[in-house]
Amino acid sequence: MAVQAGVTLERVAEIIVDLEYGGGRRGSGYLIGPGRVLTAAHVIAGAVAVRVRFNADQPGARVLVGEPAWADERTDVAVLLVPGEDRPPVRFARLDGHELPYPCRAVGFPRYKMKDARDGSRYRDSCDAFGTLAPLSNRREGTLSIAVPPPDRDVDPTASPWEGMSGAALWVAGHVVGIVSRHHRPDGLGTLSAVSAERWAHGVDPARVGALEDLLGTSLHPDRLRPVRVAPDPGHPPYRSPAPARIVVATSDAATTPSPDGGWRGGAEVDVQGRRYLLHGEHLDDAFCAVRSVHVRRARGLCLTPRQQRSSAGKYVWLHRVDARADGPDARAAVRELAAEYDLLEELGPLPGLPTPIAVAGGRGTSTLVLGWPPAQPGGGPGETLAEATGAWAAPLDPWRTARLLAGLAGLCATLAPLHRRGIGHRRLAATGIIALDDGRLVLRDLGLAMREPRPGEAAADGHQAPEQSRRRGSRTPGPHTDVYRLAAIAYHLVTGRAPNPSAPAPGSILGPDLPASLGRALAQGLAADPRSRPHIAEFAAALTAVRDRLA
């Protein structure tokens, strides 16, 4: 499942609250991930019932029961659980500390948008408020001050025209940086206040902070909550804010200079932000996507910059470049995906098995992502892919090599777990995209399709396509469960020397007399055609570890 970048109207929520002694309250919210709606705590305070409405009077309209899962009135943050809303998670960020205004956006249902329906009833329409965030205002109160276009009327001086806007997600450059919390009348009709994401944990018990972070799918620690910045967008110059030195963003068309003949080939040199890389011919892919509007080039490279040569994280790299040949939604999405992958890796931090983000460079219609390719051992050459290390499916593995493989795959399950907790699946796991280290560990080359919306027929060329990834997937959608299938398929193929049949996986008994039946059962469960029948990634890891221990 991809990460959702930017506000989507169908995920904007109207919060309808019934109070204990009659009456009610209205507020706003946003569907931030699978089954989770972010809003303001004061909106649901004292509620005996909470309803969450999406897309009122539009196709896909629905009203769901909201179950409060977390709330803190001091920080004014709350999260509601709603059934059946399986959507990609949003990205959270903090302001990066500079003193210039930030362009921002919030969508909600304020009181001044009350309108008369044809049947005589009244309803609140949505308000898409574009504004400017002043970072130095409201420092003592600890809130964010937002200048927005004022309402065209103020018919009731005893109530704010902005009543009902509370709880709306505050967006800057495709990231949620806070929630709208209140309107101070003395500030005027064109000013709102918001609570920034980096303050949602202030004064809250650490155990409760952990529960909130699990619901949000992000850390709220200032060192882990990434600073906001803008992903490159074809045809639109990005809004740029000062960023930590490690984050590299280019706005020139020459952000990445290819070899003199314009193509990527073994032995050619490319330049990314002043660093030159020598491309390796054995790991090079140069092709157009099926939509033909996107040119994709990927290659392993050796950094020729002396300083990076001395760094194990940056000596060998995986380069991924996207060029949009024509403007359109597919081209824009492809360019944004690389920046989103870099952002997510930065947010997750240095975790075992994940690639190290080194740089992302973008210009008009182009983006290049540079990730570290780990050495096989400290100070050694680049690690082999799992396909290379196992002889590219040449023969079934013996029990000793099977035990080593299962240990590596169990470790890879632990690597994928932080992604799965955010509702994100890699969805492109393959032996050619997994790097095998000399000590037996398996690590990811990149995040695969994690930043891309699922599409019928995806990842077919990589082998071991899960049933829900086929063009006849029906109502099944790829996600974290897809990773379990692909890991099981990799293990099955390596252990038996034959690829599994997605429509009828072979019984575990054909694994052979030297391997325990428990391995066959574990792989059969992972290869279940119905994603709901597959084990959780942690359960699958435990099953692989148990078999490994028995073989050892």
Residue 515 within a domain: yes
Q: Are residues 330 and 415 in the same domain?
A: no
| Cα-based distances in Å from 460 to 79, 111, 468 | 38, 50, 11
Q: Give this prediction's pTM.
A: 0.57
The per-residue pLDDT for range 425-450, each reduced to its tens digit, is: 999 999 999 999 999 999 999 999 99
- In the predicted model, is pLDDT for residue 259 greater than 60? no
Question: Of 51-60, 150-159, 184-193, 307-316, where does mean pLDDT reach its minimum?
Answer: 307-316
Q: Are residues 112 and 261 in the same domain?
A: no
Give the chain's domain count.
Answer: 3
Mean pLDDT of the chain: 83
Cα 423 off chain centre by: 8
What residues contact residue 393 under an 8 Å CB cut-off, 6+ apart? Answer: 387, 431, 493, 494, 497
Domain final residue, candidates 329, 344, 372: 372
C-beta atoms surrounding 58 within 10 Å: 9
Beta strands in 289-414 (DSSP E): 294-303, 316-324, 357-363, 366-372, 384-385
What residues contact residue 94 under an 8 Å CB cut-off, 6+ apart? Answer: 177, 196, 197, 198, 222, 225, 226, 227, 228
Helix (H, G, I), strand (E, B) or coil at 292: coil
Structure tokens at 24: 């009610």
Residue 315 confidence (pLDDT): 86
DSSP per residue over 507-531, as a string?
PGGGG-TTS-HHHHHHHHHHT-SSG
DSSP-derived secondary structure letter, 378? T
Q: Are residues 503 and 448 in the same domain?
A: yes
Domain final residue, candidates 372, 392, 407: 372
The per-residue pLDDT for range 305-337, each reduced to its tens digit, is: 765 545 555 689 999 999 888 777 888 888 889
Q: Are residues 310 and 437 in the same domain?
A: no
Structure tokens at 331: 């081209």
What residues contact residue 71 under an 8 Å CB cut-off, 6+ apart? Answer: 41, 44, 45, 77, 78, 79
Q: Are residues 446 and 317 in the same domain?
A: no
**Residue in 332, 319, 336, 330 with CA at minimum distance from that of residue 285:** 319
Nearest-Å Rg of the Cα atoms of the chain is: 25
Residue 232 within a domain: no
Residue 63 confidence (pLDDT): 92
Residue 240 within a domain: no
DSSP-derived secondary structure letter, 223? T
Whole domain around residue 278: which residue ranges? 256-372
Q: Are residues 196 and 53 in the same domain?
A: yes
Q: Is 344 left (phi over 0), alpha (psi -120 to 50) or beta?
A: alpha
Percent residues over pLDDT 70 in the chain: 85
Length of the chain: 552
The per-residue pLDDT for range 362-412, each reduced to its tens digit, is: 777 788 999 999 998 888 889 999 998 887 445 678 888 899 999 999 999
Structure tokens at 284: 């090079």
Residue 157 within a domain: yes
**Residue in 107, 227, 232 with CA at minimum distance from that of residue 175:** 227
The per-residue pLDDT for range 75-111, each reduced to its tens digit, is: 999 999 998 888 889 999 988 766 668 889 999 999 9
Q: Determine the residue type at 110.
A: P
**Residue in 439, 431, 437 with CA at minimum distance from that of residue 388:** 431
Residue 157 confidence (pLDDT): 66
